[in-house]
């Protein structure tokens, strides 16, 4: 956050907080929300605290977002949308065997879930996230799980599984990947790449026999 | 909650809610807390709502518990203490190979995490749980993870791992087991035993090669 935005926009009122990051106001709000929702809690974070942390007045915040829910929805989606895009590319590819492509998806997904300063996956378990307002996130996450299922079905071991078995194994692989959210919360600090590759190896073992 | 406690105790003031369960007041409060913390959220649950759901007046609640935190701590510990006791018994046993005992621990742990009407594991990720007041829970959970590590180290495959590798593999197995919290949240309904055994099989695959 050390960069200074010399040409500060006129008409964008600011108070205290991250005022010199050079980010767009919406990006500042997302950054503030990521930090406050994961450290203070979603319910406990006021829009006032959000605006302050993002360096603007509460009233100005509503120029950029409709409220807390919109920020939460966008943060949640940011944890699945890149992986879904990558999964689609991997599904469309047929140069490499499905085992290798599944491994790649697992690795990339773990890197996404463990990347960034805040453990955004922890927000999945908020009771609020069950609501209809987060249908977009749930749809993307369901599509991502479905991509895992398709890649798994394309592997040698997955191709011979009955439907129920394939669903179960998909949940185990997907559960291992999302389980890194819990490991990250309490586990030791490790280079993300090492952890992501080890998790992908483990996923292949679950997938593969 | 259909049982009626005919001999309602005198001197235990009640309002509305689960007033005819026949449970002790503290147990009623724990049941109410499990439900409200997982559906409404911890921060969003007032002590008043808790007391009402448990069928007592707010003032009476403080005869039985010091407040919300005590209830949360007890709920969290209930998700790890039985597994730790079982893990200790399994560690002390040497009739069966370590692989089999590790499988048993995984199965039992998943049954615990997926048993009961509420997904209490979802409370692990609350920001509040980082506080010192939950040191008891963290200590039991760390001991449980350590028991996983010891059982893993006693397996043929685990016995040859370097320390860092053993820690990593322990996190992967432990992450798979705790990952069922996320699967349970969004996955299809399945018989717990089937899911627990499949997860234990998957854990052994991660452990074992």
Q: Which pLDDT belongs to residue A20?
A: 62
Q: Is the pLDDT of residue B18 over 70?
A: no
Contact B175 A185 (CB under 8 A): no
> B175 vs A172: CB contact, 8 Å cut-off?
no
Checking if the pLDDT of B205 tops 90, the result is: yes
pLDDT at B39: 95
Minimum distance, in Å, between the CA of residue B132 and any CA atom of chain A: 14
In this predicted structure, the answer to whether residue B16 has a pLDDT above a threshold of 70 is no
Candidate from A180, A195, A206 with C-beta closest to B206: A206
* Contact list, A194 vs chain B (CB under 8 Å): 168
Which regions of chain B carry the CATH code 1.10.10.60?
25-69
Distance of CA A9 to the CA centre of its chain: 30
**C-alpha–C-alpha distance, residues B33 and B75, integer Å:** 8
DSSP labels, A51-87: HHHTTS-HHHHHHH-S-HHHHHHHHHHHTTHHHHHHH
Mean pLDDT of chain B: 90
Residue A172 has pLDDT above 60, yes or no: yes
Indicate if the pLDDT at residue A16 is higher than 70. Answer: no
> pLDDT grade, residue B15 (50/70/90)?
very low
Q: Are A183 and B205 an interchain contact pair (Cβ–Cβ within 8 Å)?
A: no
Confidence of residue B8 (pLDDT cuts 50, 70, 90): very low
- Give the residue on A whose Cα is nearest the Cα of B191: A168
Q: Stretch B124-134: mean pLDDT, rounded?
A: 95
Q: Flag if A41 and B185 touch (Cβ within 8 Å).
A: no
pLDDT above 60: residue B84: yes
Euclidean distance between the first and the last CA atom of chain B, given in angstroms as a whole number = 48
What value does the mean pLDDT of chain A take?
90
With 70 as the cut, is the pLDDT of residue A17 above it?
no
pLDDT, residue A23, reads 87
Q: Looking at the partner chain, which of A42, A124, A198 has a beta carbon nearest the beta carbon of B168?
A: A198
| Domain ranges in chain A with CATH number 1.10.10.60 | 25-73
Tell me what pLDDT residue A19 has. 52
Model confidence at B139, in pLDDT bands (50, 70, 90)? very high
CATH superfamily of B25-69: Homeodomain-like (1.10.10.60)
- Chain B residues touching A36 at Cβ < 8 A: none
User: Residue A12: pLDDT band by 50, 70, 90 thresholds?
Assistant: very low
B22: left (phi over 0), alpha (psi -120 to 50) or beta: left
> Which chain A residue lies closest to B130 (C-alpha atoms)?
A39
User: In whole angstroms, what is the distance from residue B162 CA to residue B167 CA?
Assistant: 9
Report the share of chain B in percent with pLDDT over 90.
Answer: 84
Which of A178, A194, A205 is closest, CB to CB, to B182? Answer: A178
pLDDT tier, B20 (very low <50, low <70, confident <90, very high otherwise)? low
CB contact under 8 A, B127 and A40: yes
The answer to whether the CB of A154 falls within 8 A of the CB of A108 is no
The whole-number pLDDT of residue B94 equals 87
pLDDT in tens, A87-121: 999 999 989 999 999 999 999 999 999 998 999 99
Q: Do A41 and B127 touch (CB under 8 A)?
A: yes
H/E run at residue A138? helix A135-154
pLDDT of residue B185: 87
Among candidates A126, A187, A205 on the partner chain, residue whose Cβ is nearest the Cβ of B206 = A205
Can you give the pLDDT at residue B19?
Answer: 52
CATH topology of domain B79-207: Tetracycline Repressor; domain 2 (1.10.357)
Token code pair at residue A50: 């959000």
**pLDDT reading at A208 higher than 90:** no
Q: What residue spans in chain B does CATH classification 1.10.357.10 cover?
A: 79-207
pLDDT at B14 over 50: no
DSSP letters spanning B73-121: HHHHHHTTHHHHHHHHHHHH--SS-HHHHHHHHHHHHHHHHH-SSS-GG
pLDDT at B22: 82
pLDDT digits (tens, 9 = 90+) for A34-47: 999 999 999 999 99
Question: Which carries the bigger pLDDT value, residue B82 or residue A188?
Answer: B82
- Label residue B209 by pLDDT band (50, 70, 90): low
Q: Is the pLDDT of residue A191 over 80?
A: yes
Residue B127 to chain A, least CA–CA distance (Å): 5
The model's confidence at residue A186, banded by pLDDT at 50, 70 and 90, is: confident
- How many H-runs (helices) and E-runs (strands) does chain A carry? 10, 0
Using CA atoms, how far residue A169 sits from A10, A192, B45, B174, B202, in Å, is 55, 25, 36, 17, 9
What percent of chain A shows pLDDT beyond 90? Answer: 84
Which CATH superfamily hosts domain A25-73? Homeodomain-like (1.10.10.60)
pLDDT at B93: 95
Residue B10 confidence (pLDDT): 39
pLDDT at A142 over 80: yes
What is the model's pLDDT at position A201? Answer: 97
Nearest C-alpha of chain B: how many angstroms from A119?
Answer: 10
């Amino acid at each position: 956050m050390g960069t200074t935005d010399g040409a500060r926009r006129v008409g964008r009122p600011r108070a205290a907080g991250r005022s010199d990051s050079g980010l767009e106001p919406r990006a500042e709000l997302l950054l503030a929300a990521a930090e406050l929702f994961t450290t203070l809690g979603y319910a406990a974070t006021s829009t006032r605290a959000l605006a302050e942390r993002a360096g603007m007045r509460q009233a100005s915040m509503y120029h950029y977002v409709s409220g807390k829910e919109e920020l939460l929805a966008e943060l949640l989606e940011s944890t699945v949308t890149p992986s879904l895009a990558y999964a689609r590319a991997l599904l469309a590819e047929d140069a490499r065997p499905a085992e290798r492509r599944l491994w790649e998806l697992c690795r990339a997904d773990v890197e996404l879930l463990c990347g960034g300063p805040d453990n955004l996956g922890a927000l999945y378990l908020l009771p609020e996230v069950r609501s209809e307002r987060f249908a977009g996130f749930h749809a993307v996450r369901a599509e991502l799980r479905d991509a895992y299922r398709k890649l798994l079905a394309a592997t040698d071991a997955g191709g011979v599984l009955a439907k129920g078995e394939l669903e179960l194994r998909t949940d185990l692989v997907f559960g291992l990947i999302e389980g890194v959210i819990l490991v990250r919360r309490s586990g030791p600090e490790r280079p993300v790449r090492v952890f992501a590759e080890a998790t992908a190896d483990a996923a292949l073992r679950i997938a593969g026999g």
